[in-house]
């Protein structure tokens, strides 16, 4: 049941047709009990409008009593605009997230979509009430023709109330109820038309609150590749219980498996860097708007679109593919790759036959990236290992060689014996290198490269108390930095392989920068 009549939703349509009825609390609580017994920790109550159900509070109290760690209440604000109602929910003692159904960032867009006058103001009053009670607020909107132009106004609407997340989802035709072809055409905006207001919205959030959690659901990545950090298809494992055609509760079904059943992908999608994480486009959308917008984003095109490598995982994926089928150096025998697009890193988890293991991260490269090794494409960081001895150093060198097998990667600094000390956790894992020397080399890595000087090699000697770093100039001349542990610190000097003449201001500046990097800040 729902009091709104949203143009995209079956619930309001069934209510208007007198086909939606109250649900008894007991079978809902029984389903919750089943889910909790299976280890589910989070439950979302949605509808329609769940607060309209006579058994709403019985269900909420039941979920809290069962120990669900989080109860998400999905509401259009019809009841929550009254502070007394919010307090009655909070009195159950649960940990709540309130997911507000804004169907437009302005009153005009929202009420043009919900077909309910006053519905926008009730949601604003709800935000006031929830803010006063210190509650976690998230917002959801289904993107349709009647509201997409308003999306740029979301930062101004939501940020003053401390909203923590905004989820925008492309309308799913199968969830829209019984609609004529004309109604469906009027409902579905062309995806490419959404890009300007979406981009303006993201810019507004990033300026006002960098890192604000925005999820754009089910928009094909190729439509707006620059917005890829905010686009998501599928999500965490979620099981849904719904009212079936007999007005009975259904068996639980996997939400994202079902959501993919009315989608299609083109044969050309296989050449797109986003192919593995994109579930395609709705068949109904393709029928009304065609598929000409769906142009694969190749590796070459991505480099032009994203020169700052904000989509780092996409850029480095072809390099990581070089590890496929690769025989690891002993004693390591297996590895797994995990892509973390949100944090912009690729994690390599390597294991061996006994207790040997290593966890390595690939992150954005370039100047100042640091790590145990760095290139213009990526930096390598040792997150954890059984120790930082020769086996781990050998592994890091082998991985680096594999990733840089072609000439398309420019090495800024390479793996050496000090690698075990350059842990991203700040823990010295290495053995055989004096910690003061290792820290000095770490500062040098963190500042590389130095002008036109190219890092060639590091040699550690004298039982880990001395090191030389070879840097090569464009003319082939070599600058060797000599580091020696003395007392409580490290002394540094340099020498040139051959004398220089003429104007060498660029070389002098590069050497000066390298020597400055050795000093403790």
- The domains located in the chain, with CATH, are 10-305 (3.80.30.10), 308-431 (no CATH), 440-521 (3.10.110)
- Band of pLDDT at residue 102, cut at 50, 70 and 90: very high
> Could you tell me which residues are beta bridge partners of residue 167?
140, 215
Higher pLDDT, 273 or 257: 273
- Is 509 in a helix, a strand, or coil? helix
CB of 96 within 8 A of CB of 89?
A: yes
Q: Name the pLDDT band for 428 (thresholds 50, 70, 90).
A: low
Q: Model confidence over 191-238: pLDDT tens digits? A: 999 999 999 999 999 999 998 999 999 999 999 998 988 998 877 778
Q: What integer pLDDT is reported at residue 253 of this predicted model?
A: 66
**Confidence grade of residue 155 (pLDDT, cut at 50, 70, 90):** very high
Q: Which of 91-95, 98-102, 504-508 has the lowest mean pLDDT?
A: 504-508
**Whether the predicted pLDDT of 100 surpasses 90:** yes
pLDDT at 256 over 70: no
Helix, coil or strand: residue 308: coil
pLDDT of 503 higher than 60: yes
What pLDDT is stored for residue 35 in this prediction?
92
Taking CA 136 as the corner, what is the angle to CA 135 and CA 138, rounded to the nearest 5 degrees? 135
Q: How many C-beta atoms lie closer than 10 Å to residue 241's C-beta?
A: 17
Apex 498 CA angle, 494 and 500, nearest 5: 90
SS3 445: helix
Q: Which residue has the higher pLDDT, 375 or 505?
A: 375
Tell me how far apart the alpha carbons of residues 374 and 312 are, in angstroms, rounded to a whole number. 14
Task: Give the pLDDT of residue 247.
Answer: 67
Rounded-to-integer distance, Cα 273 and Cα 314, Å: 6
Q: What is the per-residue pLDDT across 14-51, written as a single tens digit (0 to 9) for each?
A: 888 888 888 899 999 999 999 999 999 999 999 889 99
The tokens of 413 are what?
Answer: 């600094």
Confidence of residue 118 (pLDDT cuts 50, 70, 90): very high
Would the pLDDT of 426 be above 60? Answer: no
Whole-prediction pTM value? Answer: 0.75
pLDDT attached to residue 487: 83
Cis-peptide into 344, omega within 30 deg: no
Environment class of residue 245 by beta-carbon count within 10 Å: exposed (0-12), middle (13-18) or buried (19+)? exposed
Q: What is the reported pLDDT for 489?
A: 86
Q: What is the pLDDT of residues 103-113, one digit of tens each?
A: 999 999 999 99
pLDDT above 90: residue 433: no
The better pLDDT of the pair 267, 342 is held by 267
- Band (114; pLDDT cuts 50, 70, 90): very high
- The region of weakest confidence among 103-107, 169-173, 359-363 is 169-173
Residue-wise pLDDT tens digits, 367-423: 888 899 999 889 999 988 887 678 888 999 999 999 998 767 888 999 988 887 655
Percentage of the chain exceeding pLDDT 70: 96
The neighbouring-strand residues paired with 232 are 217
Instruction: Give the per-residue pLDDT at 248.
Output: 75
What radius of gyration, in Å, describes the C-alpha atoms of the chain? 29
pLDDT of residue 291: 95
């Amino acid at each position: 049941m729902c009091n709104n009549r949203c143009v995209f939703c079956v619930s309001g349509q069934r209510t208007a047709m007198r086909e939606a009825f109250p649900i008894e609390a007991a079978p809902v609580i029984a389903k919750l009990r089943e889910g909790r017994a299976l280890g589910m920790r989070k439950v979302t109550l949605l509808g329609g409008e769940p607060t309209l159900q006579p058994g709403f509070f019985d269900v909420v109290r039941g979920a809290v009593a069962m120990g669900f760690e989080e109860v998400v209440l999905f509401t259009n604000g019809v009841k929550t605009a009254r502070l007394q109602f919010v307090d009655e929910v909070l009195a159950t003692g649960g940990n709540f997230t309130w997911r507000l159904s804004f169907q437009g960032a302005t009153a005009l867009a929202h009420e043009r979509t919900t077909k309910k006058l006053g519905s926008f103001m009730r949601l604003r009053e709800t935000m006031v009430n929830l803010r006063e009670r210190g509650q976690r607020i998230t917002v959801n909107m289904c993107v349709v023709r009647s509201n997409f132009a308003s999306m740029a106004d979301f930062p101004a609407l939501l940020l003053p109330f401390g909203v923590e997340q905004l989820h925008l989802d492309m309308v799913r035709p199968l969830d829209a109820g019984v609609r004529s072809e004309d109604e469906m055409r009027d409902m579905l905006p062309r995806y490419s038309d959404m890009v300007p207001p979406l981009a303006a919205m993201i810019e507004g959030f990033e300026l006002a609150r960098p890192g604000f959690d925005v999820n754009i659901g089910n928009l094909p990545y190729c439509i707006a590749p620059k917005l890829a950090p905010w686009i998501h298809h599928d999500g965490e494992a979620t099981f849904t219980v719904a009212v079936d055609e007999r007005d009975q509760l259904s068996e639980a079904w996997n939400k994202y498996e079902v959501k993919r059943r009315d989608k299609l992908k083109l044969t050309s999608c296989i050449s797109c860097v986003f192919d593995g994480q994109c579930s395609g486009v709705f068949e109904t959308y393709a029928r009304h708007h065609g598929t000409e917008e769906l142009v694969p984003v190749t590796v070459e095109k991505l480099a032009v679109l994203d020169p700052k490598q904000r989509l780092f995982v996409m850029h480095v994926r072809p390099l990581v593919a070089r590890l496929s089928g690769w025989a690891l150096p002993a004693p390591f025998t297996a590895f797994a790759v995990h892509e973390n697009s949100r944090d912009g890193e690729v994690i390599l988890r390597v294991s061996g036959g006994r207790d040997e293991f290593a966890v390595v991260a690939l992150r954005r490269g370039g100047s100042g990236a640091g790590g145990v090794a760095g290139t213009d494409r990526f930096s390598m960081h040792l997150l954890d290992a059984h120790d930082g001895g020769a086996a781990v150093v050998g592994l890091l060198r082998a991985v680096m060689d594999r990733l840089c097998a072609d000439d398309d990667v420019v090495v800024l600094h390479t793996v050496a014996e000090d690698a075990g000390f350059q842990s991203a956790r700040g823990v010295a894992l290495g053995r055989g290198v004096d910690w003061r020397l290792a820290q000095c080399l770490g500062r040098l890595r963190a500042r590389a490269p130095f002008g036109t000087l190219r890092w060639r090699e590091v040699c550690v000697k004298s039982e880990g108390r001395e090191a030389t770093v070879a840097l090569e100039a464009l003319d082939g001349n070599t600058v060797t930095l000599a580091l020696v542990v003395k007392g409580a610190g490290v002394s540094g000097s340099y020498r040139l392989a051959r004398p220089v003449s003429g104007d060498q201001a660029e070389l002098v500046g590069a050497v000066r920068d390298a020597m400055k990097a050795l000093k403790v800040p």
